[in-house]
A and B are shown apart, each in its own frame.
Chain A
Amino acid sequence: MRDLTNEIVEFIRRTSTDLPQDVEERLKAAVEKEAPGSAARGAMETVLKNVELSRKNSTPICQDTGTPIFYVHYPEGWSTRKLREMIRNALVEATQKSYMRPNAVDAIYDKNSGNNLGGEEFPSIHFEEVDADAPLTIELMLKGGGCENVGAQYSLPNNGLGAGRDLAGVRKVVLDAVQKAQGQGCAPGILGVAIGGDRGSSYAKSKEVLFGKIGERNNDPEVAALEERLTDEANTMGIGPMGFGGQTTVIDTKIVGMHRLPASYFVSVSYMCWAYRRRKMTVQGDEVVYD
């Protein structure tokens, strides 16, 4: 099993400094929708300049380099213990190189570890085994605290919103979450919505679904229609970029269904900021490919 630490450092650099193409395209389209001279348009223009500059200079798109969330699909026979060590070492190095901000703060003692490592849970690494001849893939998402803080979880039915245990109810609570978030999650945002699960698995799934490409729809036509409807309806609220007031508040919505207990019906909304940093690296034999 080869040492991939350097390759993972490069992978982290790309994730933190080089916004994915599909996201940038949506942001470019969003600029044109805002009135010339408006604060919203100014915000979007600055956002795009920043994306370009970060890529050119290899500097973080956002200073909040977030919680590093890794999903690793490893071929049968690979050591997850060693992979974990490589990822952690790479993260320390990426932090020294200023691709990442030291972001792990001990919640009881209020102490920043200084190197982005904190206990077993920071960074967050999920492992899944695949066939021995399949490639190793590592996906990484950097999700900042501003947008994480405006995420929301609802237990349905919700009487205040008149939301029952069905897709109509899901629609209502998601719209409520968008309205409550205002611009604080760095709008325009992307919504990851999980329906079902328990509180923990539901929130986790609402982030996992954000690894998909922008515009990718749920296989179920009714759910897919709700995804599009939510994006459109969210944009009628006029919150706009940064909450300045404007046309684009949400650029995409992704919904995933899970199994739930008969007693529970959770809807979890993960709000991802416009700086939607997620990338994938694939290792097969000697070849390393970054998406």
Chain B
Amino acid sequence: MREIQLPVNDETIRELRVGEPVLLSGLMVTGRDAAHKWMMETFIKKTKEPKGDDLQVYEALKKLLNGAVIYHCGPVVSGLDSKDYKFVAAGPTTSIREEPYQAAVMKHFNLKGVIGKGGMGAKTLQGCQETPGVYFHAIGGAASFIAQSVKKVLGVYKLEFGVPEALWVIEVKDFPVVVTMDSHGQSQHTVVESASHRVLEELLAQPY
């Protein structure tokens, strides 16, 4: 199985094709609904003024996300009182909710990939081609298993978004994923969606 060390370069990303299983190691940042909305409004579209520590976090994120991947995940974290953070359960969340933001976020931060579940749409697929980047599918619900690949919590930003929505900076080892959208315009999700739609049409046409 292919192993990828993060951050990763464009050449490696272009080699990846839909269907390929990969083990990821290195640094990644979690971010989901609140984080994507905040990044988009404050730094990309700039419809909202930065406030509090926004600019500081932005500077840190620019460095962390460059060539890295973002993980759609709202973990269960222990050690919240002592700040000796540990990921207890950390599977992927449904990615499609970030569809309005993802391509712009990828380009803005030079993200090389997104990890999540359920796949994403046409805009993100386009973003994967342009950046270039890929969509890595993790196994939904496999939270205890995936948490074992998280070796260290290096830090957290925007904890005021809540534990699930904060941006957690983590170091992972052999995080198992499958490429389901690549940088060549291919998406496993489109293939399955259209094939299942054809079957649905046949089923609907059958008599009861």
Contacts and interface: CB of A to CB of B under 8 A. Distances in A.
Interface of A: 39, 42-43, 46-47, 49-50, 53-54, 57, 59-65, 98, 100-103, 105, 110-112, 114, 144-146, 149, 161-162, 167-168, 171-172, 175-176, 179, 182-184, 186, 233, 236-240, 242-245, 273-275
A225 to B, nearest CB: 11
Contacts of A182: 118-119, 189, 192-193, 196
Contact of B200 (A57, A98, A176): A176
B147 interface: yes
Given A146-B94, A179-B200, A60 B162 contact: no
Contact of A233 (B75, B93, B119, B203): B203
A183 B120 CA distance: 11
B13 interface: no
A238 B195 contact: yes
A51 to B, nearest CB: 9
In the A-B complex, the 7 residue pairs with the closest CB atoms:
A112-B162, A168-B208, A184-B118, A50-B145, A186-B140, A63-B89, A50-B142
B144 A61 contact: yes
Contacts of A57: 144
Interface string B150-177: 0000000000011111000000000010
Nearest to B21: A42
Given A112-B164, A179-B199, A239-B196, 11 more contacts: A46-B139, A46-B145, A50-B143, A98-B88, A101-B75, A162-B204, A182-B118, A183-B118, A242-B117, A243-B189, A244-B192
Contact of B180 (A53, A62, A244): A244
Contacts of A179: 196-197, 199-200
Given A57-B144, A64-B74, A102-B162, A245 B200 contact: no
B188 A245 contact: yes
B76 A98 contact: yes
Contacts of A236: 199, 203
Interface residues of B, number: 51
Nearest to A161: B204
Interface in B6-56: 19, 21, 34
22 contacts: A39-B178, A39-B188, A46-B142, A46-B145, A57-B144, A59-B89, A60-B89, A61-B141, A63-B73, A63-B143, A100-B76, A102-B163, A162-B204, A175-B204, A176-B200, A179-B200, A182-B118, A183-B117, A242-B139, A243-B189, A245-B195, A274-B141
Contact of A50 (B144, B180, B191): B144
B128 interface: no
Contact of A244 (B141, B188, B199, B200): B188
Given A61-B141, A175-B203, A245 B76 contact: no
B196 to A, nearest CB: 4
Interface string B54-94: 00000000000000000001111110000000001111011
Interface in B82-122: 88-91, 93-94, 96, 117-119
Given A102-B162, A237-B196, A59 B117 contact: no
A176 B197 CA distance: 9
Given A64-B74, A98-B88, A146 B163 contact: no
A240 B178 contact: no
Nearest to B140: A186
Given A50-B139, A182-B192, A275-B141, A42 B178 contact: yes
Contact of A47 (B142, B180, B196): B142
A62 B89 contact: yes
